[in-house]
Structure 1
Amino acid sequence: MPGMAHAVEHLLFMGTKKRRNELKMRRKKNLRLCMELWTDSLSSSSILFS
């Protein structure tokens, strides 16, 4: 089945017209969570940058 992997890739990473906004919101939420965890870990670390 040529092209099947490419079609699956599009569905996983781009979604469909119906689900595209849902995927965008999920990615934004995940990015926001990662940034919060990263900044929390920086503020609680014992390394001082001067």
Structure 2
Amino acid sequence: MSNLLYTIAVVLVILWAIGFFAYSLGNIVHILLVIAVIAVLLRLIQGRKV
């Protein structure tokens, strides 16, 4: 499960970077970045509880 979260986070960050430099996706890329950060934070929080 942890590898899946990191994979999703990396993909979302890459999409955000592409959109940020291309200016073609608008505000959606910022939403993707927020989702990626939340995924990483959830992984860190869950990792500390276990």
> Normalising by the residue count of structure 1, what TM-score does the alignment of the two structures yield?
0.54
Which structure has more relative contact order (CA 8 Å, sep 6+)? It is 2
> Normalising by the residue count of structure 2, what TM-score does the alignment of the two structures yield?
0.54
How many residue pairs were aligned? 33
Q: Based on CA coordinates, which of the two structures has the bigger radius of gyration?
A: 1
Which runs of no fewer than 5 residues in structure 1 stay unpaired? 1-10, 45-50
1:24 match? 30
Question: After TM superposition, which residue ranges in structure 1, 4 or more long, deviate above 4 angstroms?
Answer: none
1:42 match? 48
Which runs of no fewer than 5 residues in structure 2 stay unpaired? 1-16
Shift of 1:19: 1.3
Flag the structure with higher helix content.
Answer: 2
